[in-house]
Amino acid sequence: IKTIGVLTSGGDAPGMNAAIRAVVRRGLSSGLNVKGIYKGYNGLLNEEIVDMTARDVSDTIERGGTILYTARCAEFRTPEGQQRGAEICKKHGIDGLVVIGGDGSFAGAQKLANLGINTIGVPGTIDLDIACTEYTIGFDTAVNTAMEAIDKVRDTSTSHERCSIIEVMGRNAGYLAMWCGIANGAEDVLIPEKYDYDEQKLINNIIASRKAGKKHHIIVNAEGIGHSEAMARRIEAATGIETRATILGHMQRGGNPTCKDRVYASMMGALAVDLLVAGKSCRVVGYRHGEFMDFDINEALAMQKDVSPYMWEVCNSLSHNYNKK
Ligand code: ATP
């Protein structure tokens, strides 16, 4: 293997730059040429491909977003698009490719691997929704950003004796919501994986906690459940307690990565290069039980992920809930 490429695909996540930097510098120090591919598979198909030097990734480890930009690409879902992608890699001498993204991006990488391009996936998503790994690049930064924002909403919620519904990201996964639920001491946490949502129970809990003298009521709602604004209107109508919804949105995807995201992303980027150097392909990097490791992409994509029942149970038992689920 002589030349490798690196791209970021799907949603951006803080720490992606640390992974790109690690791929570039580990690649160069392993004697490889490294090419950066802009805008995910879109940029590959448009041949937005540049040579990367060690200097090109200077001053990037501390920055959020991705210096290579990211995109979604419908054409790459087709066999023709994948074939063209493989041919473009070959034309540019790219015999190994590191794809930083989520499950969708790995599915694309798997197709390229079948077409003779050695590919390695690196999990980059704030949602933590990749089954083979306990860590994904960006989750730590995003959960800290959401936690700090919820602390701020809580202050004003207490002053006004309000009920606050705060919607955090996570797509169909509830990890951000559950972690914030624990970290922010929320009164109620709603996540799609444990969807036993009973609005009357929620309303009874709000009324009971207000009677017990609580000044605020924080409900962390996962994006996968959504409808926070309508929920707030219904709760206010049923309880008579002023209720506001705050949807944190894309702010959770930005910002300087935490130390953990910088270090873990660097380790994963370096491991991806080491796997290519060792002649591996169709692998995805993961982190489990304190170790960085790799899995077959096909097996990784077939794995199912669920929130830890124990963590969920603890999350609920620590909230001062008057009518425990
Ligand atoms: P995130 O979780 O942040 O959204 P993701 O990688 O899962 O990340 P997707 O939009 O699902 O995001 O996938 C990113 C890109 O990967 C798609 O736009 C498409 O180009 C490619 N891709 C997704 N699924 C496939 C597939 N089954 N075959 C080939 N390419 C795919």
**Ligand 1 geometric centre to CA of 249 (Å):** 21
**Predicted confidence (pLDDT) per residue in 105-134, tens digit:** 999 999 999 999 999 999 999 999 999 999
ipTM: 0.93
CA–CA separation, 157 and 5 (whole Å):
48
Q: Which burial class, exposed, middle or buried, applies to 193 when counting CB atoms under 10 A from its CB (0-12, 13-18, 19+)?
A: middle
**Ligand 1 geometric centre to CA of 104 (Å):** 3
Tokens of 305: 């992920």
pLDDT for position 325: 41
**Cβ(173)–Cβ(289) below 8 Å:** no
* Residue 35 Cβ < 6 Å to ligand 1: no
* Residue 104 Cβ < 6 Å to ligand 1: yes
Residues with a catalytic annotation lie at 127
**Cβ(109)–Cβ(99) below 8 Å:** yes
**Cβ(65)–Cβ(12) below 8 Å:** yes
pLDDT for position 321: 60
CA–CA separation, 207 and 209 (whole Å):
6
For 53-61, what is the mean pLDDT?
98
Tracing tokens 């639920």 back to the chain, one arrives at: 181
**Cβ(132)–Cβ(159) below 8 Å:** no
Residue 193 Cα distances to 98, 118, 199, 306, angstroms: 31, 35, 17, 7
* Residue 125 Cβ < 6 Å to ligand 1: yes
How many CA atoms lie less than 13 Å away from 80 in the CB half-sphere?
2
| Percent of the chain whose predicted confidence (pLDDT) is above 70 | 98
**Cβ(319)–Cβ(181) below 8 Å:** yes
Q: Which residue minimizes the CA distance to atom 5 of ligand 1? A: 102
* Residue 251 burial (CB count, 10 A): 12
What is the model's pTM?
0.95
**Predicted confidence (pLDDT) per residue in 139-178, tens digit:** 999 999 999 999 999 999 999 999 999 999 999 999 999 9
**Predicted confidence (pLDDT) per residue in 79-94, tens digit:** 999 999 999 999 999 9
CA–CA separation, 164 and 156 (whole Å):
10
